[in-house]
Structure 1
Amino acid sequence: MPMQASDIESLLRQTFPNAKIEVQGDDGVHMAAMVIDESFRGMNRVQQQRAVYGALKGKMDGPNGDLHALALTTKAPD
């Protein structure tokens, strides 16, 4: 079942409660998310993105995942 932007944001908010999170996309399958969180400080981009994928709790796993593609922008606050 395709995911809505609000569903993705809710999952991310559980792991990153104080983050600035913006999720865009309207087809429920190909989405984009920006997550800016202090917990990313000192992490490289791959580590940051792994943390975000982990927060999605398997929703992108395999061909039967609820979310097919998520373009990510991650960083620590300026």
Structure 2
Amino acid sequence: MNPQTIKTLIEQGLPGATADVQGEDGVHFEATVVSEAFAGKLPLARHRLVYATLGDRMGGEIHALALKTVTPAEHALATSGQG
């Protein structure tokens, strides 16, 4: 598994989302996912949405995935230095 494949799966599974995925060893990854679908959801629900895009690859091809899930508004605040 590679970061680009994970990025593609997440972005296809969450239309309108953008994902930045890193991981050099092929089994441990970290991702920042920005999606309007996260609005009004708690972190666990947000993570479940992302995991659903990856299906049974989680725990198999993808041993670990550290997630940061934010809405576009939260992302804008964080990147402006005010979040």
Question: TM-score, normalised to structure 1's length?
Answer: 0.87
- 1:72 counterpart = 2:67: yes
Shift of 1:17: 2.8
Corresponding residue for residue 41 of structure 2 = 43
The alignment covers a number of residue pairs equal to 73
User: Mind listing any 5+ residue stretches in structure 2 that lack a counterpart?
Assistant: 74-83
Question: TM-score, normalised to structure 2's length?
Answer: 0.82
After TM superposition, the runs of 4+ consecutive aligned structure 1 residues lying more than 6 A away are none
* Identity across the alignment (%): 42
Q: Which amino acid is 2:53 matched to? A: A
Larger radius of gyration: 2
Higher helix share: 2
Aligned pairs for 1:1-78 (under 5 A) are 3-61=1-59, 65-78=60-73
Shift of 1:20: 2.1
Please state whether the residue corresponding to 1:71 is helix, strand or coil.
strand
CA-based RMSD of the aligned residues comes to: 0.9
User: Mind listing any 5+ residue stretches in structure 1 that lack a counterpart?
Assistant: none
Cα distance in 1 between the residues matched to 2:18 and 2:4: 14
